[in-house]
């Protein structure tokens, strides 16, 4: 039961701001890959927040966010080092390092384009729709779905080989601060790993990166993501997914991953809740 965990009374957020400007992970940031590992949404969400705060602008659309996850982030104070790479009239680029104990555990880049009017003409668009999700609610637990099993509140019922989807409102990156639409989109895009790598025996591939690309930002608090493709060979996998809000598709996620069978996450015997309500 939720009340059995003392930390469940905490504000749902991945980090708290510590004295000196460092970010302290909370139990919500814990990963299923290891007791001292942080989950992917926490790491990429923190990086996305820093990049947007440092160089975001109403005139520019954050079109592509890419994070390289160099090593497992741990349960330790975390800092962010942001650098502007290019500040042009139509294109802006910035990067940041996520640093723990003097080592860079992840590096993220943000590419932004100045908003403008669309050119004339029509282009091909892939015929795609999102499997109807449950109505949004006030709970922080996400919905997980698959073609074989429909929607549930846990991945345990979806360890099958059918297409997966995910529907979540994303807990806060930083306690006391609401996520921006951009940060929310990046955090849900990290679920590309879940919807593409969850199979009959759980998740045995761990993603080493994330690329999230947006044509616009999500307008809903609850955002959906649905698997498009998964290809694997020689212990290396790639997965792609499409992100949706109530107006339709607005972005794509891409992850590459490596086999990690020694730490295979089997949700049939691994509770979904005690790891901060996250899937990794």
Q: Which helix (H) or strand (E) holds 193?
A: helix 192-197
The 10s digit of each residue's pLDDT in 58-107 is: 999 999 999 999 999 999 999 999 999 999 999 999 999 999 999 999 99
Q: What are phi and psi of 81, to 5 degrees?
A: -115, 115
The pLDDT > 70 percentage for the chain reads 93
What structural domains and CATH numbers belong to the chain? 2-114+139-263 (2.40.160.210)
Mark out the alpha helices in 28-79 (DSSP H runs). Answer: 40-55
d(CA 200, CA 187) in angstroms, rounded, equals 25
User: Do residues 56 and 62 make contact, with C-beta atoms less than 8 angstroms apart?
Assistant: yes
d(CA 42, CA 73) in angstroms, rounded, equals 10
The 10s digit of each residue's pLDDT in 6-25 is: 445 578 999 999 988 999 99
The pLDDT of residue 273 is above 80: no
Count, residues in the chain: 280
User: Do residues 189 and 217 make contact, with C-beta atoms less than 8 angstroms apart?
Assistant: no
The 10s digit of each residue's pLDDT in 20-45 is: 899 999 999 999 888 889 999 999 99
Look up the pTM and report it: 0.92
How many Å is the Cα radius of gyration of the chain? Answer: 18
Beta strands in the chain (DSSP E): 13-17, 23-25, 30-31, 34-38, 60-69, 79-87, 91-100, 103-114, 143-146, 150-152, 164-168, 172-174, 198-199, 202-203, 205-207, 209-214, 223-233, 236-245, 248-259
Question: How many C-alpha atoms does 187 have within 13 Å on its Cβ side?
Answer: 31
d(CA 6, CA 73) in angstroms, rounded, equals 24
């Amino acid at each position: 039961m939720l009340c059995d965990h003392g930390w469940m009374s905490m504000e749902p957020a991945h980090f708290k701001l510590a004295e000196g400007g460092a970010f302290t992970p909370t139990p919500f940031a814990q990963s299923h890959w290891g007791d001292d590992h942080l989950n992917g949404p926490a790491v990429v969400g923190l990086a996305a927040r820093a990049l947007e705060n440092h160089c975001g602008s109403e005139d520019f659309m954050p079109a592509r966010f890419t994070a390289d996850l160099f090593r497992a982030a741990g349960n330790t104070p975390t800092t962010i080092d942001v650098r502007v790479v290019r500040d042009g009239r139509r294109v802006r680029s910035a990067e940041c390092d996520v640093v723990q104990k003097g080592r860079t555990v992840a590096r993220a880049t943000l590419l932004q384009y100045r908003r403008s009017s669309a050119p004339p003409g029509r282009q091909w668009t892939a015929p795609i729709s999102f499997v109807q999700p449950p109505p949004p609610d006030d709970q922080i637990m996400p919905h997980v779905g698959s073609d074989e099993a429909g929607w549930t509140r846990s991945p345990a019922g979806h360890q099958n080989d059918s297409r997966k989807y995910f529907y979540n409102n994303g807990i806060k990156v930083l306690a006391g601060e609401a996520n921006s639409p951009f940060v929310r989109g990046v955090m849900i895009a990290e679920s590309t790993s879940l919807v593409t790598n969850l199979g009959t025996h759980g998740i045995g591939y761990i993603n080493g990166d994330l690329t999230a690309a947006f044509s616009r930002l999500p307008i809903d608090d609850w955002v959906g993501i649905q698997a498009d493709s998964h290809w694997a060979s020689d212990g290396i996998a790639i997965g792609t997914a499409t992100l949706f809000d109530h107006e339709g598709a607005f972005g794509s996620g891409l992850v590459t991953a490596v086999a990690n069978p020694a730490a295979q996450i089997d949700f049939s015997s691994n509770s979904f809740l005690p790891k901060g309500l996250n899937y990794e």
